[in-house]
Chain A
Amino acid sequence: MVRVVKSTIMEAPVERVWEVLRDFNGHDEWHPAVADSAIDRGQPSDKVGCVRRFHLSDGSELREQLLTLSDADMAFSYCLLETPIPLLNYVAHVRLAPVTDGDMTFWLWESRFDTPEGREAELGQMVAENIYQGGFDAIRSHLELEGA
Chain B
Amino acid sequence: MPRVYISSVVDAPATRVWEKIRDFNALPRWHPRIRDSRIENGEPSDRVGCVRDFHLQNGDRIRERLLGLSDHDLFCTYAILESPMPITDYVATLRLTPVTDGDRTFAEWTAEFDCAEADAEGLTNGIGTDVFLAGLNALKRQMAG
Contact = CB atoms under 8 A, between A and B. Distances in A.
B30 interface: no
A98 B7 contact: yes
Interface centre among A6, A102, A106 (most CB of B within 10 A): A106
Contact of A133 (B98, B99, B101, B106): B101
A7 interface: yes
Contacts, number: 53
B101 A101 contact: no
- Interface of B, secondary structure class, is strand
A6 B101 contact: yes
A131 interface: no
Interface string A128-148: 000001001000000000001
Given A97-B106, A101-B133, A148-B102, A108 B97 contact: yes
Nearest to B99: A7
B101 A106 contact: no
B7 A97 contact: yes
Nearest to A136: B101
Contact of B8 (A5, A102, A136): A102
B130 to A, nearest CB: 14
A9 to B, nearest CB: 5
Nearest to B8: A101
B102 to A, nearest CB: 7
Contacts of B5: 98, 100
B120 interface: no
A7 B106 contact: yes
Contacts of A97: 7, 106, 108
8 A-B pairs with the lowest CB-CB distances in the bound complex, closest first: A8-B101, A101-B8, A106-B106, A7-B99, A6-B100, A100-B7, A7-B100, A99-B7
20 contacts: A5-B98, A5-B100, A6-B101, A7-B97, A7-B99, A7-B106, A8-B99, A8-B100, A9-B99, A9-B104, A9-B106, A97-B7, A97-B106, A99-B9, A101-B7, A101-B8, A101-B9, A106-B99, A136-B101, A148-B101
